Amino acid sequence: MLTIKNLEKTYANGVHALDNVSLEISNGMFGLLGPNGAGKSTLMRTIATLQAADGGSIEFNGIDPYNKLVDRNSDDNVKAL
């Protein structure tokens, strides 16, 4: 299960891309729909750990992917997930 709680992201230009987003997604296939500028890409980039959120949390099957990533600058380049 993917659990997102109170996710926040504001860009340097002041755009609030994610404003207190909370949801739970169980196993299966899901789509993410919304108009331009709704925060879809920001949400997906944050879930994929390509960018950090300003606040909130993400858990996948009870694991926080941000706390399980290995330092990419270290000699050990293997991700824990």
* pLDDT tens for each residue of the chain, 81 residues long: 999 999 999 999 999 999 999 999 999 999 999 999 999 999 999 999 999 999 999 999 888 888 875 455 554 444 444
Report if residue 81 sits inside a domain: no
pTM (2 d.p.): 0.78
Report if residue 74 sits inside a domain: no
Number of domains comprising the chain: 1
Report if residue 78 sits inside a domain: no
Predicted local confidence at residue 63, as pLDDT: 85
Report whether 65 contacts 49 (CB < 8 A).
yes
Calculate the CA 13 to chain-centre distance. 20
Parent domain of 36: 2-68
Predicted local confidence at residue 78, as pLDDT: 45
d(CA 77, CA 55): 26
d(CA 75, CA 78): 9
Report if residue 26 sits inside a domain: yes
